[in-house]
Chain A
Amino acid sequence: KQEVTQIPAALSVPEGENLVLNCSFTDSAIYNLQWFRQDPGKGLTSLLLIQSSQREQTSGRLNASLDKSSGRSTLYIAASQPGDSATYLCAVFYGGATNKLIFGTGTLLAVQP
Chain B
Amino acid sequence: KAGVTQTPRYLIKTRGQQVTLSCSPISGHRSVSWYQQTPGQGLQFLFEYFSETQRNKGNFPGRFSGRQFSNSRSEMNVSTLELGDSALYLCASRLGGGYEQYFGPGTRLTVT
Chain A residues with CB under 8 Å of chain B are 31-32, 34, 36, 41-46, 49, 89, 91, 93, 95, 99-106
Question: In whole Å, how far is A109's beta carbon from the nearest beta carbon of chain B?
Answer: 17
Partner-contacting stretch, out of B11-19, B78-86, B94-102 = B94-102
Question: In whole Å, how far is B57's beta carbon from the nearest beta carbon of chain A?
Answer: 9
Q: Is the CB of B88 within 8 A of A41?
A: yes
Q: Is the CB of A99 within 8 A of B97?
A: yes
Q: Is the CB of A49 within 8 A of B100?
A: yes
Chain B residues with CB under 8 Å of chain A are 4, 6, 33, 35, 42-43, 45, 48, 55-56, 58, 88, 90, 92, 97-98, 100-106, 108
Q: Is the CB of A103 within 8 A of B43?
A: yes
Residue from A31, A41, A44, A106 in contact with B42 in the complex, judged by beta carbons closer than 8 Å = A106
Q: Is the CB of A99 within 8 A of B103?
A: no
